[in-house]
């Protein structure tokens, strides 16, 4: 006869679970030769994808301004994860592409996330985890990338 938990526990647990996964990802990424990568960077590189993009497009994907996207790309460029080249077909545009180092980080991230998911499956059971994922999918918007982290948090 357990009573229903207070409503505020759910969002907190969701956030904590997210945080636990991200922290573990970055601890492991650090061990695998990517100590300087930050939580944001992984998402941004995922959003850039293997084919490259532009600052404006990246901003659209992530739900932030082109200036914000540009700044992040700059930071990523400084630490060697992306490079920008002018688009010969439209010299206004600069194509942002992952470097081999960036590709490596992205591939490792994917592998580590799969591994973390497998650990959750081992702990909870694959069926329970699938149910959890299905439920979350049901309650969240389709577009995975509109994170606007962490801007929304301080937004007016």
Partner DNA sequence: ACACGATAGACAACCTGGTTCACTATCTAG
Partner DNA sequence: CTAGATAGTGAACCAGGTTGTCTATCGTGT
Binding site for a copy of itself (CB under 8 A): 2, 4-23, 25, 38-40, 46, 109-110, 112-118, 120-121, 123-124, 126, 128-133, 135-141, 144, 147, 149-150, 152-156
User: Whole-angstrom Cα distance, residue 106 to residue 33?
Assistant: 12
- Among 54, 66, 57, residue whose Cα is nearest residue 96: 54
- Partner from a copy of itself, DNA, none contacting 122, C-beta within 5 to 8 A by type: none
Q: Between residues 56 and 75, which has the closer beta carbon with respect to a copy of itself?
A: 75
User: How is residue 136 written in tokens?
Assistant: 């979350």
Our CB check for a copy of itself shows the closer of 14 and 87 to be 14
Sign of torsion over alpha carbons 76, 78, 79, 81: positive
Q: Tokens standing for 131?
A: 């149910």
Residues binding DNA (CB under 7 A)? 38, 40, 54-57, 62, 64-72, 75, 84, 90-95, 148-151, 153-155
């Amino acid at each position: 006869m357990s009573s229903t938990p207070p409503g505020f526990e759910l969002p907190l647990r969701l956030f904590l679970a997210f945080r636990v996964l991200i922290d573990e990802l970055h601890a492991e990424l650090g061990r695998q030769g990517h100590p300087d990568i930050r939580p944001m960077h992984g998402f941004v590189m995922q959003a850039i994808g293997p084919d490259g993009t532009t600052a404006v497009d990246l901003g659209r994907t992530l739900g932030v301004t082109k200036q914000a996207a540009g700044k992040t790309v700059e930071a990523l460029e400084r630490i060697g994860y992306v490079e920008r080249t002018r688009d010969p077909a439209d010299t206004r545009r600069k194509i942002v592409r992952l470097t081999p180092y960036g590709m490596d980080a992205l591939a490792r991230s994917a592998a580590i996330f799969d591994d973390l998911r497998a650990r959750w499956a081992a702990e909870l059971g694959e069926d329970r985890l699938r149910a959890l994922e299905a439920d979350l999918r049901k309650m969240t918007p389709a577009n995975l990338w509109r994170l606007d982290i962490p801007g929304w948090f301080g937004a007016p």
